[in-house]
Amino acid sequence: MLVAIVDDDAVVRESLLDLLEVSGYSVVTFASAADFLESSRIPEMRCLLLDISMPGMSGIDLYKELKRRNIAIPVVFMTGHAQEALINEAKRAGICLFKPFAGAELRRAIETAIEI
């Protein structure tokens, strides 16, 4: 199962990559929403781990763009310091985890997002 991580923080991307690969997931990472949108692997993706607050296109904006393009990928939003309005919007769209979170919590969120 291919999981995509979109987060502007390289340390977060790398630690999530390591955690998910050890858990048996195939993982691709992107430093920005724009990089993600250029990927040819989007049709393969089963879940998207998406940072809410990023420079340029935010995670919420990327989610809206995917909806506009009729691309249905289950999303788990992640945040460490987003504004309350963005957090509420993310929660309405799906699952939202607050950094830092435990590996078991992340794995449960991914499985739940895929089931929805």
Percentage of the chain surpassing pLDDT 70?
95
Rounded alpha-carbon distances, angstroms, from residue 77 to 25, 51, 97: 18, 6, 6
| Higher local confidence (pLDDT), 116 or 96 | 96
* Residue 79 pLDDT > 80: yes
Helix axes 10-22, 103-115, angle to 10 degrees: 80
Cα(87)–Cα(103) distance, integer angstroms? 21
* Residue 3 pLDDT > 90: yes
Residue 76 belongs to a domain with what CATH number? 3.40.50.2300
Domain housing 10: 2-115
Query: Other CB atoms closer than 10 Å to residue 83's CB: what's the count?
Result: 11
pTM: predicted TM-score of the whole model, two decimal places: 0.91
Domain count, the chain: 1
**Burial zone of 52 (CB within 10 Å; 0-12 exposed, 13-18 middle, 19+ buried):** buried
| Higher local confidence (pLDDT), 26 or 115 | 26
